[in-house]
């Protein structure tokens, strides 16, 4: 169990250590507030004991746990547990008569003409869903008291079945959580070994299916996440860490590791969210309002959006995609993910070449890693086409096996009449198209024009493919930040403590009582301030943001509208309506200014701001890169043939340097590819700013 004795960290803590565990690599960023020193480390992930990969990365970053005041962590363990269906044996307890809400869902059929469509499969089978007598009305009034004797008997039955976790979801508990709270207390008192979660602790919104799915997901991953976080906490404290252990939430905000062990579902997208936070920090430095955060690692590619200077978030997400329809109703970064990464496996299927979503991961990894992998991957394709240097991978720490990559690519290409080079080229083309879907998913499908955005590319494989993805969807400019291979870990250093609350309270905007609205907002804000005050971290400032979920009368689904605090002070209904109309127009391409609107839910975000690392400028140079930056030429495949392409050491480049494609810019954990016609400029902070050739 986590050590309860710990120092109180402040916004001016000496050393912050951030660790991001991905499917293939574990990334480390270490920042010293006093000296301004920033170090990075990258190591292969260790699936059998993930903390070993963290420790290796920390050592490579020339640091240790003992010197850190804050340990920040993001991980894919929660989301992977759901996607791989490797969670705990879980039972569901719900209101009498509502046992099948979880399975019926919304009856979505995303593709009406797909004869092979399969409905979502619940995480909890029907035989393990149980009903109990209780009922609360939508206004919070108790209609049928909780059957405590029946609940106790049911708890004994569930324990006898060998369950590890229990999810509780009672109808209308968002209006009055008393029955859920009592049921959880009874179960925990009698069966302390069970991981018990109640839906109102995660969501106080209406929509019983979404709340049920959220509670089920939290219980399903709970035991595994609790063990995982607890093991890391125990390990780092044995090695001398005595500060605050914070986890990155799906919003990009931070919360205590103890909270993560009970509200596990809030960390589903912790790693990708940190990358979006890092992109926001970069945009603020460069004065960019609109940007796409494009993160390609070893297993997946993800995209998020910075719009008007702020990351776009959502109040719910569908795990596994729209067709799977397993919703999680919590605040999270609006991120679209596709199963295409450096380790994505290519295969010949039905006479065609396909890539992903299966990944070689860290073990055995791509064929070229020489760790036992034999199947062709995107990384193997990049190596054979000359985009990766066999002797320069991870700064030369790891030598890649070109012949193994060729053998793997030949095996997949032969059935299709392709040689290794042709197969590799086809794999990269398919991967670029697949990754463009992630970018479109957070722009075009949200009513935004991707061409109006800058693409910020990071992750170990992001800079390799960024230009191709940008050209695919008409983006004219790409930025590769410093240390892109560990950028998500770096982004954690810019995260703040954050708590999000929502309360459903349906009312017409025309006669909405501002007194009631203000009372609810103040109650939610107090919860957030109290939560921050209870942590071991002392932020230098606490901020509050308010939003309303609104819809036109007669609509089913609302739009979340962020509002300045001034509209509530002035009780300005017209301003609220105007904000709603504008947001509806942006999202759906239409609005109805003359139609009546109603408020569905009230949202609050309370953040405890922490000190951020400074963005430092680099030395100035001339247009031509210095001779020390030139690292020779090698044959690289572009436009159907191999060409001589110069390679450059990024660490030696200076502000103002210009490079024309084709060219490669290499650094420890990534390589940036410039295709013929692309033009790169190094800006004052060392970012690689690329004008994409042929972008529409």
Q: Which of these, 584, 595, 2, 687, lies nearest to 288 by C-alpha position?
A: 687
Burial of 693 per CB tally in 10 Å (0-12, 13-18, 19+)? middle
Determine contact, residues 562/331, Cβ cutoff 8 Å.
no
**Separation of alpha carbons 270 and 252, rounded Å:** 7
Q: Which of these, 82, 156, 462, lies nearest to 302 by C-alpha position?
A: 462
Global pTM? 0.87
pLDDT value at residue 108: 67
pLDDT value at residue 323: 58
pLDDT value at residue 634: 93
**Separation of alpha carbons 293 and 494, rounded Å:** 15
pLDDT value at residue 7: 40
pLDDT value at residue 490: 92
12: pLDDT strictly greater than 60 = no
Determine contact, residues 632/644, Cβ cutoff 8 Å.
no
Average per-residue pLDDT in the chain?
Answer: 89
pLDDT value at residue 1: 29
Strands 541-552 and 559-563: antiparallel
pLDDT value at residue 264: 94
Determine contact, residues 98/64, Cβ cutoff 8 Å.
no
pLDDT value at residue 616: 86
Strand partners, 456: 293, 479
Mean pLDDT value across residues 213-222:
96
pLDDT value at residue 451: 86
531: pLDDT strictly greater than 60 = yes
Interval 126-161: pLDDT, tens: 999 999 999 999 999 999 999 999 999 999 999 999
8: pLDDT strictly greater than 60 = no
Please name the residue that has the structure tokens 């971290």: 537
pLDDT value at residue 6: 36
Give CA angle at 465 (461, 466), nearest 5°: 105
The stretches of 45-120 forming alpha helices (DSSP H) are 50-60, 77-83, 101-104
Interval 145-201: pLDDT, tens: 999 999 999 999 999 999 999 999 999 999 999 999 999 999 999 999 999 999 999
Higher pLDDT, 448 or 645: 645
E strands, 208-265, where? 244-248, 254-256
pLDDT value at residue 109: 66
**Separation of alpha carbons 391 and 413, rounded Å:** 25
25: pLDDT strictly greater than 50 = yes
Mean pLDDT value across residues 25-49:
86
Higher pLDDT, 588 or 142: 142
pLDDT value at residue 24: 73
Interval 485-525: pLDDT, tens: 889 999 999 999 999 999 999 999 999 999 999 999 999 99
Determine contact, residues 544/604, Cβ cutoff 8 Å.
yes
438: pLDDT strictly greater than 90 = no
pLDDT value at residue 11: 41
110: pLDDT strictly greater than 70 = no
**Separation of alpha carbons 374 and 366, rounded Å:** 7
- Supply the angle between the helices 178-190 and 148-160 in degrees, to the nearest 10: 50
Sequence-ordered list of residues with C-beta below 8 angstroms from that of 680, at least 6 positions apart, any chain: 658, 659, 660, 661, 663, 665, 672, 674, 688, 689, 690, 691
Interval 456-475: pLDDT, tens: 999 888 999 999 999 988 99
**What b-and-e string marks burial along 389-400, b requiring 16 or more CB atoms within 10 Å of the CB?**
bbebbbeeebeb
Please name the residue that has the structure tokens 């209780």: 134
Please name the residue that has the structure tokens 């609810």: 520
pLDDT value at residue 584: 92
DSSP string, 587-618: HHS---TTS-EEEEEEEEEEEEE---------
**Separation of alpha carbons 462 and 116, rounded Å:** 33
285: pLDDT strictly greater than 70 = yes
Token pair belonging to 199: 């839906």
358: pLDDT strictly greater than 70 = yes
Please name the residue that has the structure tokens 């050393």: 15
Upper half-sphere CA count for residue 199 (Cβ side, 13 Å): 31
Q: How far apart are the first and last CA of the chain?
A: 55
Give the rounded percent of residues in the chain with a pLDDT score beyond 90. Answer: 62
621: pLDDT strictly greater than 80 = yes
Q: Looking at 14-18, 279-283, 324-328, which range is the least confident one?
A: 324-328
Token pair belonging to 104: 């019926």
């Amino acid at each position: 169990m986590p050590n309860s004795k710990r120092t109180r960290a402040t916004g001016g803590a000496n050393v912050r250590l951030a660790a991001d565990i991905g499917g293939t690599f574990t990334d480390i960023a270490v920042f010293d507030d006093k000296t301004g020193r920033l170090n990075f480390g990258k190591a292969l992930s260790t699936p059998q004991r993930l903390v070993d990969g963290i420790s290796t990365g920390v050592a490579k970053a020339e640091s240790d746990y003992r010197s850190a005041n804050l340990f920040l962590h993001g991980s894919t363990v929660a989301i992977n547990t759901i996607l791989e269906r490797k969670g705990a044996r879980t039972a569901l307890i719900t209101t009498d008569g509502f046992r099948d809400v979880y399975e019926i869902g919304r009856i979505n059929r995303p593709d009406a003409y797909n004869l092979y469509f399969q409905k979502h499969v619940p995480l909890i089978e029907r035989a393990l869903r149980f009903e109990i007598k209780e009922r609360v009305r939508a206004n919070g009034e108790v209609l049928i008291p909780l059957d405590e004797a029946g609940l106790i008997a049911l708890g004994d039955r569930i324990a006898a079945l060998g369950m590890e976790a229990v999810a509780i979801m009672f109808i209308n508990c968002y209006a009055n959580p008393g029955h859920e709270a009592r049921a959880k207390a009874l179960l925990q008192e009698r069966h302390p070994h069970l991981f018990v979660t109640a839906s109102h602790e995660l969501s106080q919104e209406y929509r019983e299916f979404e709340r049920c799915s959220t509670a089920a997901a939290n219980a399903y991953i709970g035991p595994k996440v609790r063990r995982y976080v607890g093991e890391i906490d125990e390990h780092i404290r044995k090695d001398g860490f005595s500060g605050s252990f914070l986890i990155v939430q799906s919003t990009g905000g931070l919360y205590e590791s103890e909270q993560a062990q009970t509200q596990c579902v809030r960390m589903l997208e912790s790693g990708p969210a940190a990358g979006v936070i890092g992109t926001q920090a970069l945009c603020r430095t460069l004065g960019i309002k609109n940007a796409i955060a494009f993160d390609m690692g070893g297993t997946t590619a993800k995209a998020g959006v910075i719009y008007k200077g702020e990351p776009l978030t959502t109040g719910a997400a569908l795990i596994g995609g729209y067709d799977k329809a397993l919703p999680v109703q919590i605040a999270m970064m609006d991120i679209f993910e596709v199963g295409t990464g450096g380790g994505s496996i290519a295969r010949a299927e039905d006479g065609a070449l396909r890539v992903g979503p299966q990944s070689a991961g860290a073990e055995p990894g791509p064929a070229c890693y020489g760790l036992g992998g034999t199947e062709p991957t995107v990384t193997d394709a990049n190596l054979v086409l000359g985009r990766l240097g066999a002797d320069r991978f991870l700064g030369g720490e790891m030598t890649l096996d070109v012949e193994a990559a060729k053998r793997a690519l030949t095996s997949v290409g032969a059935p299709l009449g392709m040689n290794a080079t042709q197969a590799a080229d086809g794999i990269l083309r398919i991967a670029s198209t697949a990754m463009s879907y992630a970018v479109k998913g957070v722009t075009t499908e949200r009513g935004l024009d991707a061409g109006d955005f800058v693409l910020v590319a990071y992750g170990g494989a992001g800079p390799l493919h960024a230009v191709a993805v940008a050209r695919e969807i008409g983006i004219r400019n790409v930025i590769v930040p410093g240390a892109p291979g560990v950028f998500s870990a770096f982004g954690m250093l810019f995260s703040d403590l954050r708590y999000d609350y929502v309360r459903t309270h349906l009312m017409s905007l025309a006669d909405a009582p501002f007194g009631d609205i203000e009372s609810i907002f103040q109650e939610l804000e107090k919860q957030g301030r109290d939560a921050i005050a209870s942590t071991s971290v002392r932020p230098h400032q606490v901020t509050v943001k308010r939003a309303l979920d609104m819809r036109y009368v007669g609509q089913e689904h609302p739009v979340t509208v962020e509002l300045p605090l001034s509209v509530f002070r002035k009780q300005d209904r017209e301003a609220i309506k105007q904000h709603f109309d504008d947001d509806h127009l942006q999202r759906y391409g239409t609005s109805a200014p003359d139609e009546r609107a109603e408020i569905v839910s009230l949202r609050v975000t309370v953040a405890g701001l922490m000190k951020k690392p400074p963005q430092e400028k680099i030395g100035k140079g001339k247009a031509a890169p210095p001779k020390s930056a030139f690292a020779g030429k090698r044959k690289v495949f572009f436009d159907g043939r191999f060409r001589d392409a110069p390679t450059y050491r990024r660490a030696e480049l200076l502000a103002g340097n210009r490079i024309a494609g084709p060219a490669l810019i290499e650094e420890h954990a990534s390589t940036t590819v410039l295709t013929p016609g692309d033009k790169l400029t190094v800006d004052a902070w060392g970012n690689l700013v690329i004008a994409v050739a042929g972008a529409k």
